[in-house]
Structure 1
């Protein structure tokens, strides 16, 4: 069970699938980086560490080999090293940085595969197609991923439920990501699943949605909120608004994916109190 806002903050983890989108601001220097990689006799942690120690600005290029965007790289480093400053890490902890990327994202194997691949027009078109699709979906991918995880929990527990619907509270309606046993006036337990690995106004929109749920709920309705994703780390003011709702008792539970067992226990207990299950 979450004990404090700092506890909540420390539990946030990445949830979005890795993408291979090249940040346009990093285009300069790609050719020099690629040539240096080609000349390495053998791709090892030590060789790559020496490379970024001499050229710290090449860290994002290595991250791209492992399937990380610049934002995902920063978020991963923030969690593991306590700083998103990849340039200074490359200067001071080059081997630790490369070891982390290798253990978590298979960096050395990815570099070996990329530098030995013979690129054809088909390869280029596939990469561009992937890039174009991910531009449109990456802002929602993590949110939908968390919704799918929550739906899996509800299905496993055997509840009747409705996903991505509206529910009726005292006199008004509000959106919710799940409702038990159904949406509309039948909703007795409602919830939100808000997962973001990137930042932006969508996090504020998510908070407003939860605030709306808390505002219109009937006294007999339960409201549960599951959040995760490292995007919340950069929007702590929004996350604090959710924590404040929980502290004031305006929502009945606040969880991350690390606390899904608590979520399961709480909705089961609420369902028994509401006679949804016996």
Structure 2
């Protein structure tokens, strides 16, 4: 069997716009180290979009966040001191480690209006580096390895795939790839990893005779090497890697230890996690148990 299961994106209202939440899911918490996967948009914001649409300062531990856009732009600020606007095809990779806070705001879109479309993913850190120092890196679109062929575009965001290796430093074996296929174009799914998934961000594709539409993730069986054929012009994300072991997730905190999550909750409530530099006048309070849907940024 090629496809282990299909995970549908579930719509979640974040107060200003909706996202499609794919991971975690009740029947599949992780794919490799990927523990969280949100599809943002596509959505068109009018000029003067309310500030409630922004993701106010909030904390993370034990993970790396990856923001990747197809359209629009987001302004990132964090407690380490980084201030970086991300645009389509670029990568913002933030490692929370022992603790970081950040905000994601729609400053330019607020002024002019515009579209937003992208993916927010979280990668759980291996236990040996869960408490690493927090950090942030940004890569422009032309810094990521890519390959184009007739009707096919491949960009490797992180890890190695299709003979290409991203400059993004990862803490465990993983891969994350952006594919664009014209209608009728076929390509194989890359191998070399024990856990892999195919997510359709736009359009429709066929895998082993089954159709998958935008908002659906196909988790592949171990060792399966199916082809992906675009039924219409499509954007597909490939992701996965090697498992890092079970993880607890509470709100924006990820850890192998429940006690560590309780400590992070206490630290945020007591103000012991620094707020983002240049964006420290508001924050998202610690929610009551049970927590609401995790912040996507």
TM, length-normalised to structure 2: 0.24
Q: Which has the higher contact order (CA 8 A, sep 6+)?
A: 2
> Which structure has more strand as a fraction of its residues?
2
